[in-house]
Amino acid sequence: MRSRTQRAWDRVAVYLPILLMGLLALGSWWLVRNAPSVPSDTQQAPRGHEPDYFMQNFSVKNFGADGALLSEVRGDMGRHYPDTDTLEIDRMRLRSVDAAGRLTHASSERALSNADGSEVQLFGNARVVRDAAIGASAAQPQLSFEGEYLHVWPQLERVRSNRPVTLTRGKDQFTADGLEYDNLAQVLQMQGNVRGSLAPRNSDKKSR
């Protein structure tokens, strides 16, 4: 006759596979619960270079600390990109006033401006014109830049281009494959095939 211990072991042996399966299921549930969660398809992916708002027939103005108008940008259509905080503008017109009160106008088929309008890239029929003014020692004639691409810093009075450009100062005109102009430093660099046309100056002298 089997002992009580043997009979108890036989009963446990009958239920042992069920117990093992239960332990395996419990272990699988624990692994699933503690494993890193996988993002679901419903979670929104990070936005790329896409506009977050649009503007039509708009105007953006930038004022100085004293409340004086520094620059104004107008456009037919504007698209703001939050990832770069830039404004893309169709048919852009810009008006800027420097520290001496001189006006600078700019226009192009398309433009890309930073948030405060201090840096603007002009694409297609780009034109920048600084109005004539009376300087401390002599009159300063109108100065203009024209080309298919111009990179402009209105407040720093700088213009740069790596494409063919025409510079006109009064009646003098120059063409080049590229240029860098810094009005504050009074530096003009023209690259590539440079051509110029200088208008004759008045040579009248006062009689003694």
Domains and their CATH numbers in the chain: 53-197 (2.60.450.10)
Tokens 């456009």 appear where? 75
- pLDDT tens-digit series, residues 152-205: 987 788 999 999 999 999 999 999 999 999 988 989 999 999 999 988 876 544
Task: Give me the pLDDT at residue 157, please.
Answer: 84
- pLDDT tens-digit series, residues 124-150: 999 999 888 776 556 788 999 999 999
Contact 85, 93 (CB under 8 A): no
- pLDDT tens-digit series, residues 74-133: 999 999 999 888 989 999 998 888 777 788 889 999 999 888 778 889 999 999 998 887
- pLDDT tens-digit series, residues 41-68: 545 545 678 888 889 998 888 888 888 8
